[in-house]
């Protein structure tokens, strides 16, 4: 009977300790630092952390305690360069009745593509114009009173604005 109870105890304890466990990163207010050192013409980075628990192991000597754990490599942030692809223009009058004037504050060498959208995203007017002066007019007869989105593109540059038809 004693052997049976001992065997059951060992099996039960063994099964309990074999239950699935999962390593979870958790930190209670961690802080730390890192330093670079040079030894025998080789560079080393030493990082230390307070508050991170290790799942890999700990090594100890009379001088120091080394622990391997969850210190992450430094994060590198790369900025995307923004190119200025906005077309410098002014649209007036707004609200308009039938004609919209567009004044360009830069010289355009190529034709402009003009597209007018309604608030549902449908194209209600489109045209391509060669602009020889700094100003051009867009005739928008037959549109109902509503809000529209005007986009003008030329030479990989774009101008967008909201228009209101009276």
State residue 97's pLDDT score: 92
Q: What are phi and psi of 57, to 5 degrees?
A: 155, 170
Question: What is the distance between the alpha carbons of residues 88 and 132, in angstroms, rounded to a whole number?
Answer: 16
pLDDT at residue 158 greater than cutoff 80: yes
Backbone angles phi, psi at 55, to 5 degrees: -110, -5
Distances from the Cα of 152 to the Cα of 12, 19, 57, 117, angstroms? 76, 65, 63, 11
CA atoms within 13 A on the CB side of 15: 5
How confident is residue 5, by pLDDT bands cut at 50, 70 and 90? Answer: confident
Q: Which of 46-50, 113-117, 123-127 has the lowest mean pLDDT?
A: 46-50
- Going by pLDDT thresholds of 50, 70 and 90, the confidence category of residue 108 is confident
- Within the chain, how many helices (H) and strands (E) appear? 1, 11
Query: What mean pLDDT do residues 13-33 have?
Result: 57
């Amino acid at each position: 009977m004693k052997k049976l109870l001992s065997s059951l105890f060992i099996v039960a304890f063994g099964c309990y300790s074999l239950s699935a466990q999962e390593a979870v990163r958790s930190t209670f207010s961690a802080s730390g630092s890192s330093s670079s050192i040079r030894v025998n013409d080789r560079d080393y980075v030493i990082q230390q952390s307070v508050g991170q628990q290790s799942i890999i192991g700990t090594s100890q000597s009379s001088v120091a305690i080394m622990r391997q754990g969850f210190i992450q490599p430094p994060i590198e942030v790369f900025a995307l360069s923004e190119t200025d692809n906005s077309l410098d223009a002014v649209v007036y009058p707004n609200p308009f009745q039938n004609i919209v004037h567009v004044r360009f504050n830069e010289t355009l060498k190529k034709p402009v593509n003009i597209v007018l959208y309604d608030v549902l995203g449908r194209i209600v007017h489109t045209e391509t114009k060669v602009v020889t002066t700094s100003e051009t007019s867009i005739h928008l007869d037959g549109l109902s009173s509503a809000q529209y989105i005007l986009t003008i593109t030329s030479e990989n540059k774009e101008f967008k604005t909201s228009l209101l038809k009276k």
